[in-house]
């Protein structure tokens, strides 16, 4: 199924939402997901990371930037192995 430009933009925005989740879960200086223990945080990060990796693999992104997405994937992988 080919995505149109509006769908690509919406999907990219959703990816950036997952970047925010990963960044905020990893950052202990805020209250986001502080009700979770380390294992729970790793699970939450892994779910968001899986979504990023899956969606990034699509080949019709055009000129959308993946700088923040790539950084979040890297941070999630590092966090998972900590």
The count of domains in the chain is 1
> At 1, is the pLDDT very low, low, confident or very high (cuts 50, 70, 90)?
low
Share of the chain above pLDDT 90, in %: 91
Provide the residue range defining the domain that includes 17.
Answer: 5-80
Report how far residue 30's alpha carbon sits from residue 18's, in angstroms, rounded to the nearest whole number. 16
Q: What is the mean pLDDT of residues 2-31?
A: 96
Whether the CB-CB separation of 18 and 26 falls below 8 Å is answered with no
């Amino acid at each position: 199924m080919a995505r149109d430009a509006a769908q690509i933009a919406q999907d990219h925005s959703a990816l950036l939402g997952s970047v925010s989740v990963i960044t905020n879960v990893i950052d202990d200086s805020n209250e986001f997901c502080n009700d979770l223990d380390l294992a729970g945080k790793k699970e939450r990060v892994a779910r968001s990371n899986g979504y990023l990796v899956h969606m990034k693999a699509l080949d019709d992104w055009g000129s959308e930037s993946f700088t923040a997405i790539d950084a979040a994937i890297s941070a999630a992988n590092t966090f998972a192995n900590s």
